[in-house]
Structure 1
């Protein structure tokens, strides 16, 4: 298929939604590296780099960012169209911590110098970011974090540990929450800092997961120096910024992409196993499709709120719960349908990998806030139930 002629952002604005979708679909089909479609695991930077840079050159890397800072400035409907087309074609997830998480935070709370320094380098792929939040004793109870940042005049000195840091072994920068006031209450005395991963005293150790993939890492800080201008916002206000960033993360984790890809794989598996016309399977598949349609509508409502510049409330947890639990149910169905193929660590024919999808789905209800903790948050924050 020939690549559609390049259109400016103003040209895209002039298209109706159907024409916009057709243009996005044509470009994606012409430009996605074939070997990266429907990956069986999340890809390292060295693997997803060609796709990241292709999106960057096209100007499509950051659909939600304002155009003044290199984004597309799309409304929620157009963002959802792009997500749907990426999902339909099986495009790989890029190394997106900078685009989805840090970028929006810097746009809202960063200094002008930080915006000028970091935002263009995210878009160019020069800086790949990791998120340093969780610690061995501060996961769902993130405010219990103990990474210490001691004030040493013109810099901070960091000592402590972070864990479950996604692809820290790929990143050249990391943003962390650190305790800058040990005497303050848990949610106070926390600051938001930026530092390169090659800082003296910083070390990274990969963690192999159940399918022997090193997606997560531990990061250790031993007298790591961080200049004072690498503080985002105000000292001891990091928890406030973290809550905003967790809102961005829960929107990202709540994207319909995983469930949509899982559902597409479920149908391909049913065809492979000769069950695609089975009434029992079709009933289950139809229910999953309806749940996915509900998830997409829910997702669109939250992306629309972000686009309007609104602060997300505790209700954003609903999105993360719905998406991750739907994805787990879809992969449960895949494992049952796969029969004797369910225990294989290697993919079947047609890149189908029921065991891999099942394992990928297991931690989704834990990271970004466990479903149990988020239900407590919803009970207190929305229903005003007692703690």
Structure 2
């Protein structure tokens, strides 16, 4: 089926009908947490068998090959159906990097296993002393007898509990600028010398974690791209990540929950609340337009450039404003519901989840620095 040649309306109808008929009821409208692999595996494999799992991959690699417009439709219908986030580090982060920079052997080895769910991926970028200043990383990968010996620590890795593999940045050369001498390496998390520890968040979730590497031996063929030149790949991946984290998915999902609550309780009839709600909806519509623009640039091969940082700021701060209004409207009901076994609103949990959104994937202060220096050419 050629989705590209379908009209937007026909494509939307196709997605909507399939999601309505096939999304398991226990996965719908999961505002509180990301379902674990055991819960989402069947749906992941259903999308894979349909060929709908990797909307942003080229069709020759098993993806849908969607343009930016249809990618937005895909995500909006995902959110409309209440479908939760899948284990997507391989789909939206590593996959595009391998397609662009990996060897043919790496593509044939890893891409099919991402689509089949045999490999579940976590990201090994941030460290205790290298978060937004990622080039300050200290994890080392020393080349010895045709292998890398990896030592160090990675922090804030999503989906770590079920992950089978991790892609990491490690320092392979010293005595150079900190952006140089870094390599992009794939690590099997079953390797000896690896210790994992989960981290419980303020919202009571534990999908984050940290990893310790103690003389972990990694084959040289797990190097992606040239040795010592992983920073270029990292910037590519961050480009994908910032486009993904700058997508309208998060605020759109939050606005859908706020809308459902507002309609059921009649609070949107209040002129003051209606005005604030309308402003948020307009902010989101503007962001959708901007996201479509950057998506088209990436699809055309032009790259999105440093100005893509605006999307991450826009998306996460809109998400926070929606969460603020939602919690304000639910009041005591939203706070008390958080402590119950069945939270009917998810308002307080959404509020908790919205706080770190402006920090992860490069905090918004850093994104504004990028915009100031590299786009507006302001002095340091």
**Which TM-score bucket, shorter chain as reference?**
over 0.9
Q: 1:56 to 1:368 in 2, by over 3 A?
A: same
Partner of 1:181 in structure 2? 173
Looking at structure 1, the residues matched to 39 and 61 of structure 2 have their Cα atoms a distance apart, in angstroms, of: 26
Equivalences, count? 378
Q: Which one of the candidate residues 261, 278, 294 is aligned to 2:253?
A: 261
Q: Structure 2: any 5+ residue segments left out of the alignment? A: none
Partner of 2:354 in structure 1? 361
Q: Which one of the candidate residues 193, 199, 211 is aligned to 1:219?
A: 211
Looking at structure 2, the residues matched to 147 and 330 of structure 1 have their Cα atoms a distance apart, in angstroms, of: 38
344-353 or 147-156, larger mean C-alpha shift: 344-353
Partner of 2:67 in structure 1? 75
1:164 aligned counterpart, secondary structure: strand
Contact 1:273–1:338 at 8 Å: present in 2 too?
A: no
Contact 1:244–1:312 at 8 Å: present in 2 too?
A: no
Matched, 1:59 2:72: no
Q: Which one of the candidate residues 11, 15, 22 is aligned to 2:13?
A: 22
| Deviations 1:96-118 (CA, angstroms, capped at 9, x unpaired) | 00010000000111011000000
Matched, 1:372 2:352: no
- Which residues of 2 match residues 107-126 of structure 1 at below 5 A? 107-126=99-118
Partner of 1:96 in structure 2? 88
Matched, 1:302 2:276: no
TM-score relative to the length of structure 1? 0.95
Looking at structure 1, the residues matched to 53 and 216 of structure 2 have their Cα atoms a distance apart, in angstroms, of: 32
Looking at structure 1, the residues matched to 4 and 291 of structure 2 have their Cα atoms a distance apart, in angstroms, of: 22
Deviation at 1:14, TM superposition (A): 4.1
Looking at structure 1, the residues matched to 257 and 40 of structure 2 have their Cα atoms a distance apart, in angstroms, of: 21
1:126 aligned counterpart, secondary structure: coil
Looking at structure 2, the residues matched to 126 and 221 of structure 1 have their Cα atoms a distance apart, in angstroms, of: 23
Contact 1:346–1:353 at 8 Å: present in 2 too?
A: no
Deviation at 1:348, TM superposition (A): 8.8
Contact 2:324–2:351 at 8 Å: present in 1 too?
A: yes
Matched, 1:385 2:340: no
TM-score relative to the length of structure 2? 0.97
Deviation at 1:284, TM superposition (A): 0.9
Contact 1:131–1:175 at 8 Å: present in 2 too?
A: yes
Contact 1:63–1:74 at 8 Å: present in 2 too?
A: yes
Matched, 1:284 2:276: yes
| Deviations 1:203-242 (CA, angstroms, capped at 9, x unpaired) | 1100000122101101000000110000001011111110
Deviation at 1:385, TM superposition (A): 0.8
Q: 1:14 to 1:310 in 2, by over 3 A?
A: closer
Deviation at 1:269, TM superposition (A): 2.3
Looking at structure 2, the residues matched to 236 and 192 of structure 1 have their Cα atoms a distance apart, in angstroms, of: 8
Deviation at 1:311, TM superposition (A): 2.2
Contact 2:27–2:84 at 8 Å: present in 1 too?
A: yes
Q: Structure 1: any 5+ residue segments left out of the alignment? A: 1-8
Looking at structure 2, the residues matched to 74 and 269 of structure 1 have their Cα atoms a distance apart, in angstroms, of: 33
